[in-house]
A and B are shown apart, each in its own frame.
Chain A
Amino acid sequence: EDQVTQSPEALRLQEGESSSLNCSYTVSGLRGLFWYRQDPGKGPEFLFTLYSAGEEKEKERLKATLTKKESFLHITAPKPEDSATYLCAVLAYGGSQGNLIFGKGTKLSVKP
């Protein structure tokens, strides 16, 4: 069964304290892995798409990496405005058209 697991469920950091969020996946064939950011009471916003192992993408303080089993979202020197829930989603070959498999998310809190 295709599955996406995010860890930790919650992460509390001090401003400037770098860390990483994990998204491990089990799918028959990876078509794409997506990272989204979601603020409380709002819809998710797209951050990155990764397609193959070894791929990396960066945006400001965020860097996403991909291996054959997992993806990491590295946050360098985070600021309080980075506080949000980060969602990982996987699209597998052979799955229903358009059916992303979402993880439960990691809630990040950055304290000043």
Chain B
Amino acid sequence: DGGITQSPKYLFRKEGQNVTLSCEQNLNHDAMYWYRQDPGQGLRLIYYSQIVNDFQKGDIAEGYSVSREKKESFPLTVTSAQKNPTAFYLCASELGRSGANVLTFGAGSRLTVL
């Protein structure tokens, strides 16, 4: 079945550590996105990529980094510069690059800072 796979589902990080969240899709979608979800808040865009080897910052990119070396993969690194990284992270993909199409989301990764 086509879909988006995020791993790990749960991740614990010590302060000062970088961690990388994996996102893989087999939908042959062009665009991929990373969102952050906090209790009581709407989803906020971290980074997005419309084509391989290109990506743009979203509203809350500080303390995060991404790469898009393959169409299927869009990993997110949460760096030690991110002061409040505890959150639920969602990866999504979109057929096409217009931003007006439906997003398909992964199951999410929950990051907790110890």
Contact = CB atoms under 8 A, between A and B. Distances in A.
Contacts, number: 68
Interface residues of A, number: 25
Contacts of B107: 41-43
Given A87-B43, A99-B58, A102-B42, A43 B100 contact: no
A104 B99 contact: no
Interface residues of B, number: 30
A104 B42 contact: yes
A74 B102 CA distance: 21
Nearest to A98: B99
A36 to B, nearest CB: 8
A44 B105 contact: yes
A4 interface: yes
B50 A102 contact: no
A43 B45 contact: no
Nearest to A51: B100
A36 B104 CA distance: 10
Interface string A37-59: 00001111110010000000000
Contacts of A97: 48, 50, 56, 97-99
B59 interface: yes
B90 interface: yes
A34 B104 CA distance: 12
B58 A102 contact: no
Nearest to B110: A41
Interface of B: 4, 6, 31, 33, 40-45, 48, 50, 56, 58-59, 90, 92, 94, 97-100, 102-108, 110
In the A-B complex, the 3 residue pairs with the closest CB atoms: A43-B105, A98-B99, A102-B42
Given A102-B43, A104-B41, 17 more contacts: A34-B103, A41-B107, A43-B4, A43-B90, A43-B108, A44-B43, A45-B105, A87-B42, A96-B58, A97-B56, A97-B97, A98-B31, A99-B48, A99-B99, A100-B103, A103-B42, A104-B40
